[in-house]
Chain A
Amino acid sequence: QVKLQQSGAELVKPGASVKLSCKTSGYTFSTSYMSWFKQIPGQSIEWIGMIYAGDGGTGYNQKFKGKATLTVDTSSSTAYMDLSSLTTEDSAVYFCAREAVGHWFAYWGQGTLVTVSS
C-alpha cells in the first residue's frame, strides 16, 4: 500500500535552515507529483509547492518562493523540502502529500513539527 513516512520533529534556531524528508513506498515514485503543505496547529492548511519526481520540475506558491526548496532522490523514492532563514512564523507542522490523478491529495505523510526557537 502507499506510504509516506516523514522525518522527525525539528527544533531549530532563528536564521537557521532545516531539511525535511518524505520517504515513499507502494507506488511508482518517479512518475508522480509530490506536494508540501504548512499547517499551524489549530489553523488551516497552506500549499507550499509541488515537484514532479520524473524530472524534478517544481511549482511554488508565490508566498513560499525563497523560503522553500523542493527536491527529490528517485533512487530512494524520497522527497525533500529545505526551509531557509527560519523565523518563529515558520513554526508549524509540514506535510507531504501525493497528488491523485486530479489535483486532490489522497495520500499524506504523518507530518513533521518544526519549532523555531532560540
Chain B
Amino acid sequence: DIQMTQSPASLSASLGETVTIECRASEDIYNGLAWYQQKPGKSPQLLIYNANSLHTGVPSRFSGSGSGTQYSLKINSLQSEDVASYFCQQYYNYPPTFGSGTKLEIK
C-alpha cells in the first residue's frame, strides 16, 4: 500500500494568514491526490482533486499543488470557518490511502 505522510499534525494560525499543509507519498502517485476538510462530527468534504483542481463550490482561497511524491494544500486569508481537520488521499493505486490528518486551529 502507498503510505501518505502528512505534516504538520496540528497548526495554529491567525485570521487572514496563509497556511500550508504538506503530504508526501511513499512512491510517485502521478497527481492522483485529493484533499478533504472534515469538521468535528461531520463527514469529509472534498476540496481538491487531481492535486490542483478545485472542487465545485470550494472557495478559491484553497489551492493544491505538487507532483511526484510531494503535494501541498494552501489556504489563503484564513477564515474562522476553516477550523477543521484536513486529510490528503491518494488514489493512484488501490487501496486508496489517507494521510494522518492536520488539525487547524485559529490563534
- Interface of A toward B, CB cutoff 8 Å: 35, 43-47, 59, 61-62, 95, 97, 100, 102-106, 108-111
B interface residues (Cβ-Cβ under 8 A, vs A): 32, 34, 36, 42-46, 49-50, 55, 87, 89, 91, 94-101
Answer whether A45 and B49 are a contact pair too, CB < 8 Å, given A95-B43, A111-B43: no
- The reply to whether A100 and B49 contact each other, CB–CB distance below 8 Å, is yes
Q: A44-B101, A104-B49 are in contact. Are A110 and B43 (CB under 8 A)?
A: yes
User: Can you report 29 residue pairs joining A to B where beta carbons are below 8 Å apart?
Assistant: A35-B96, A44-B87, A44-B98, A44-B99, A44-B100, A44-B101, A45-B44, A45-B87, A47-B95, A47-B96, A59-B94, A95-B44, A97-B43, A100-B46, A100-B49, A102-B32, A102-B50, A102-B91, A103-B91, A103-B96, A104-B34, A104-B49, A104-B89, A105-B34, A105-B44, A105-B89, A106-B46, A106-B49, A109-B43
